[in-house]
Amino acid sequence: MDSGAASSPTLAARNRSRGASPASDEFGYGNRGSIQTSNTTSIHKSLSTLLDNEKFSDMIIICGGRQFKAHRAIVCTQSSIIDRAMTSNFKEATLRSIELEKDDPNIVERLLEFLYTGTYSDGVTCGNQETDTKSSVQGSEQEVSGDEEQNTPPDNDVAAGDENNELPMETDGPAVHHQSEGSKRHADPSDDMTLHLRLYLIAVKYKVPALQTLALDRFCHAVELVWKDAERFPAMVDELYDTMPPRGAVLKETLCRLVGTAIHDQKVRRKLKAVFEKHGEFAFGVMDYAIKFGPGQMTEMA
């Protein structure tokens, strides 16, 4: 009777379910990470067809004289700030529209592009959408430093909170051209430094952790590529220190580390002199890294 029970198909199935099954490896069932990434990419491909599309649209985002048709199921589930405005007793919930008065419409457009596709267009990042989607999905599962929930309801502009989170308006910014998967577009890499910075800021402002992760990664990559030669680098540093909330320490550390390793270069010091004088925090951070990388740095500066 025991031997019969042991050979029972039901019992055998239970035993297989408790351990690793050779069949699962043979048919690829064990590769759940790849399957999850593939499914996520497929979902984003479907959602991308709804980007700025009136079909099934149930909310309007107004910014800089432009109107973006959007979907609460997509936008509100990824931004707790916008979700609170659209589901609480505010006029936005009644009118099903929200006005972002203090934001750059070009940055808002890329924010929406990310919410619908899992990535956003830029000039130097040439990875395909699957790679960007995987990065953003992984980022959304990680805790973003300092991203604490705010309990204060939004005012006229949904992003009530630190005034330092405001983004400067630029009406002459580059328009977004949505691209097919894997396509490439050439542009000035120094422009992308500012783009990634502003997308990081707007992700912090509206609490979109996955976009924070992706924008941070692209920002660091772009800065490391072009910071020494980019004429706009001092202006970008100035903007970062003027607008970055305290939780943006990672971006500041990246800049201080890069400049600190090259501060012995007189050209670098001359280029950033005005920024050092305006932002003592930046100057101190750079000096701190210069000391860490060796006393020779300081000797050469003397």
**Mean pLDDT over all residues of the chain?**
73
What is this structure's pTM? Answer: 0.65
- Residue 249, pLDDT score: 86
- Residue 271, pLDDT score: 96
Out of 69-78, 172-181, 291-300, the most confident range is 69-78
Taking the CA atoms of 247, 146, 92 and 58 in sequence, report the sign of the dihedral they define.
positive
> What torsion do the CA atoms of 248, 145, 40, 74 make, to the nearest 10 degrees?
-70
pLDDT in tens, 236-293: 999 999 998 776 788 999 999 999 999 999 999 999 999 999 999 999 999 999 998 8
Among candidate residues 132, 218, 135, 128, the one with its CA nearest the CA of residue 180: 128
CA angle 192–193–198, rounded 5-degree value: 90
> 12 vs 255, which has greater pLDDT?
255
- Distance from the Cα of residue 129 to its chain's centroid: 14
- pLDDT-based confidence at residue 110 (cuts at 50, 70, 90): very high
CB 40 within 8 A of CB 34: no
